[in-house]
Structure 1
Amino acid sequence: MLLTQSDNCRDHARMNILALSGSARRASTNTALLRNLADVAPEGVDITVFDRIAELPVFSPDLEHPHPASVAAFADLIAHADGLILCVPEYARALPGGLKNALDWLVSGEELIAKPVALAHASHRGDDMLADLRRVLTTVTSAFQPDIFLRLPLMGQTPEEIAALFEQPDTRHKTRAFLKAFAKTLPPKSQT
């Protein structure tokens, strides 16, 4: 994705967060959590949800230069985000292959090196996967925020049920507090 002149002239005081769903499932609980998180974002914070990791080809160093078009667009989204929020399901007590593949495409680039990253989790379980993901993230970015974490037990709920949960004041308060804490870790915007 190429930035146009109008993109370069956007309000530089706004924080732009890319919310990456680690699920390839169409009715994903993780994606639903991220979409609702975007809906309750505080003033000055824009959240874009990326839910297309299944469209990325299998990583191969032979294909890195130049990147396939879908990978180049994905890397560009990350490069232009002020920070990343990842929401990832656990598959067989480990990272889903699609997410690991997406991260593998970024390892030799600079998009993630100092990018602030926080985690959201849509389940009451998954601690083994979260430990693995935290280890990977501390390897690929110096700005991983391990203490900024949102956990909502949403397993088995439909996207509609999750949207209704986000209407509840306690959930809205918890999610906004998470977003505000993460926004404080983002680099200050230039006022040019």
Structure 2
Amino acid sequence: MKILAISGSARANSTNTAMLRAVAQTASPGHDVTVFSAIADLPVFSPDSEAGPLPESVQVFADRVGESDGVLISSPEYVRAIPGGLKNAIDWLVSREEIVQKPIALMHASHRGDDMLSQLRLVLATVSQRFSQDLFLRFELMKLSPDEIARVLELPSNRAAVSDFLQAFSEFCRR
């Protein structure tokens, strides 16, 4: 199962990116999790830019989405909303085929962020017919370093939670 894990953060030491990388490290061999953390490399979306060849960074992003069996997204909340970089990435996919039937689920690295999650659920349910409202995994990792996050996710109970989540997501992708 090829899973693309998209971080909605542009920060180099993002909690969400660190969590997704730790998930990729703890995933079973049947779950090939690749982290996309280059949201900041995508140019600002304009419908005019879709007329010709896509900017290279956008084409790479769209190809990775298209090649995956499913997409996981983890994102911070900025001013109680979806970060601009993540919304921009989604906007690049709106009129493309890669996202329409793509299974998508959410993860979250904070005890807060429910306003953003609500907005993100609305947006993802609009762009993909296969967004799962029910599959969701949350850890409270704010203020931890990437190394600390990796250690937290190595704990047996958290490894089991990640394994169960990825298994449920894989089953959702196969349906």
For the aligned pair, the TM-score class normalised by the smaller chain equals over 0.9
Match of 2:2 among 12, 16, 25: 16
Q: Which residue of 2 aligns with 1:89?
A: 76
**Contact 1:42–1:180 (CA<8 Å) still a contact in 2?**
no
Residue type of the alignment partner of 1:176 = S
In the TM superposition, 1:72-151 aligns within 5 A as 72-151=59-138
Q: What is the deviation of 1:40?
A: 1.4
Q: Is the CA contact 1:22–1:99 (under 8 Å) kept in the aligned structure 2? A: yes
How far residue 30 of structure 1 moved from its aligned partner, in angstroms, is 0.2
3-state SS, counterpart of residue 170 of structure 1: helix
Residue aligning to 2:45: 59
Q: Deviations over 1:81-104 (max 9, x none)?
A: 000000000000000000000000
* AA matched with 1:100: K
Quote the residue 1:40 is aligned against: 26
Unaligned 5+ residue runs, structure 1? 1-14
TM-score between the two structures when normalised by the length of structure 2 = 0.97
State the Cα distance separating 1:167 from its structure 2 match: 1.6
Contact 2:26 2:154 in 1 (8 A): no
How big is each residue's C-alpha offset from its partner over 1:67-122, in whole Å with a ceiling of 9 and x where there is no partner?
Answer: 11110111000000000000000000000000000000000101100100000000
Tell me, yes or no, if the aligned pair for 1:23 and 1:51 is still in contact at 8 Å. yes
- Structure 2 counterpart SS, 1:59: coil
What corresponds to 1:12 in structure 2?
A: none
Judging by fraction of residues, say which structure has more helix: 2
> Within the alignment, does 1:27 sit opposite 2:20 as a pair?
no
In structure 2, how many angstroms separate the alpha carbons of the residues matched to 1:173 and 1:187?
Answer: 21
RMSD over aligned Cα atoms: 0.9
Amino acid at match of 2:134: D
Gaps of 5+ in 2: none
- Distance in 2 separating the partners of 1:145 and 1:38: 20
TM-score (norm 1): 0.89
State the aligned residue count. 174
Residue 63 of structure 1: how far off its partner (Å): 0.6
CA distance in 1, matches of 2:115, 2:173: 27
